[in-house]
Amino acid sequence: MTALSIPGDSLFGIDNLPYGVFSTAGTDPRVGVRVGDHVVDLAKLLGEDVFAQPTLNSFMAQGRRRWAAVRARITELVGGEIAAEAVVAVDDVTMHLPIAVADYVDFYASENHATNLGRLFRPDSEPLMPNWKYLPVGYHGRSSTVVVSGTDIVRPRGQRKAPADAAPTFGPSVRLDIEAELGFVVGVGSPMGSSITPDEFAEHCFGVVILNDWSARDIQAWEYVPLGPNLGKSFATSISPWVVPLAALEAARIDTPVQDPTPLAYLRGEEKWGLDVELEVEWNGQVVTRPPYGRMYWSPAQMLAHTTANGAAASTGDLFGSGTVSGPEQNQRGAFIELTWGGAEPVTVAGERRTFLEDGDEVAISATAPGPNGTRIGFGEVRGRILPAVMPG
């Protein structure tokens, strides 16, 4: 038996308890919970088959009451002595994609980001489209290319056409970018023909990850009219390995900014689902921006309500991206196209001038939120490195 030591300033104290899927050399992926610098093997701790599985989906499908009961039991057990064989050092594990992603939808919920991108993509129009303050705008992404932090990202190829070019050419993206976002994971879905209200959010949403929606701006700018992003984003989306339970974020809940005009009734709720999460983006080891999630105009509860408002089904493993998190300040912008204003204003990264991503560049996005009694909750990080494009032939 062993008692777990947790450093006093750990971002993974007993108020966090995020779930992930891990393996050690020669063992199969299975569910664990992070406590300080340890990973606790839940199949061994609790002796239940639902945790001896390569994704969280079976556990997530069991519902909110069960999530609360397991969280309470883990809290009780890790506060005392537990079997030493159930504990692994975080440095000794490989983390895997924690969920089997069902549908992936990405939103556009930051007013600052949407305004900046409107100016950059559509300089001759109003930056915000007339629908933007009436509904959370989103597009359907590609679930099969959602990958876990640490996965290398091969530079995508595609059609690009600069405004001055007469015709498009095919080749590696030269405007490869990031989008710093949060991702919301659905535990319990809803059948086709029904809808989820904003105040039912916590019955359905299991937890939260950090998400990097890698974006090829040159491919995107040419392809997106009129149906929205496709190959400019579908090549890769990275998520952090630890899913922070919604229940760990009670102290982070805040109001969204004032929504004017008042949203239609199906998008209104009594519960606060703004979240005071602070993100930080490192480019080749240097912090370049700190996007504040607390400024997001649309809440994740409104996104889920909107997605099901037409009777579309929701499923265990659905993933909702918040959209790029950007604040009003230059050093709060969550995409490099905004940070460098379309490449016109390079930033200095580790002594070099940068606009978009170069081969070999590495980006890590981390996040923290307030926990109970002045503590902080960590989300860990989502990291990825750019490999050169592979050309056919």
Ligand X SMILES: O=C(O)/C=C/C(=O)CC(=O)CC(=O)O
Span of 96-104, 207-215, 347-355, 371-379 interacting with Ca ion by CB under 5 A? 207-215
Q: Which is nearer to Ca ion, 182 or 314 (CB)?
A: 182
Sign of the alpha-carbon dihedral angle for 302, 305, 309, 314: positive
Please give the residue whose beta carbon sits closest to Ca ion in the complex.
213
Q: Which does 237 bind (CB under 5 to 8 A by kind): Mg ion, ligand X, Ca ion, none?
A: Mg ion
| Helix or strand run (H / E) with residue 204 | helix 201-204
Nearest to 170 by CA among 133, 218, 215: 218
Residues that bind Mg ion (CB under 5 A): 213, 233, 237
Q: Establish if 213 lies at the interface with ligand X (CB under 6 A).
A: yes
Q: Which is closer to Ca ion, CB of 52 or CB of 129? A: 129
Q: Does 338 bind Ca ion (CB under 5 A)?
A: no
Q: 229 touches which of ligand X, Mg ion, Ca ion, none (CB within 5 to 8 A by kind)?
A: ligand X
Sequence letter at residue 280? E
CB of residue 113 to ligand X, shortest distance in Å: 5
Q: Which is nearer to ligand X, 19 or 222 (CB)?
A: 222
Backbone dihedral angles phi then psi of residue 152, each to the nearest 5 degrees: -70, 150
Does the N-terminal peptide bond of residue 172 adopt cis geometry, omega within 30 degrees of 0?
A: no
Q: Which stretch binds ligand X (CB under 6 A): 88-96, 116-124, 203-211, 294-302?
A: 116-124
Residue with smaller CB distance to ligand X, 15 or 224: 224
Q: Could you tell me how many residues of this chain bind Ca ion (CB under 5 A)?
A: 3
Q: Structure tokens of 385?
A: 């490195």
Instruction: Give, as ranges, the residues between 160 and 179 that touch ligand X (CB under 6 A).
Output: 179
Q: What does 319-334 look like in DSSP terms, one character per residue? A: EEE------SSGGG-S
User: Smallest distance from the beta carbon of 108 to ligand X, in angstroms?
Assistant: 4
Do residues 301 and 198 lie in contact, with contact meaning Cβ atoms separated by under 8 Å?
yes
Distance of CA 267 to the CA centre of its chain: 22
Q: Identify residues 119-138 at the interface with ligand X (CB under 6 A).
A: 121
Residues 97-136 that bind Ca ion (CB under 5 A): 106
Tokens of 133: 């303050």
CA neighbor of 48 nearest in space, from 39, 61, 37, 58: 58
With CB cut-offs between 5 and 8 Å by kind, which of Mg ion, ligand X, Ca ion, none does residue 121 bind? ligand X
CA dist 378 and 2 (Å) reads 24
Q: Does the active-site annotation cover 113?
A: yes
Report CA dihedral (316, 16, 292, 325) to the nearest 10 degrees.
-20
312-341: which residues touch ligand X (CB under 6 A)?
323-324
59 phi, psi to nearest 5 deg: -65, -45
Residues with a catalytic annotation lie at 113
Q: Which residues bind Ca ion (CB under 5 A)?
A: 106, 179, 213
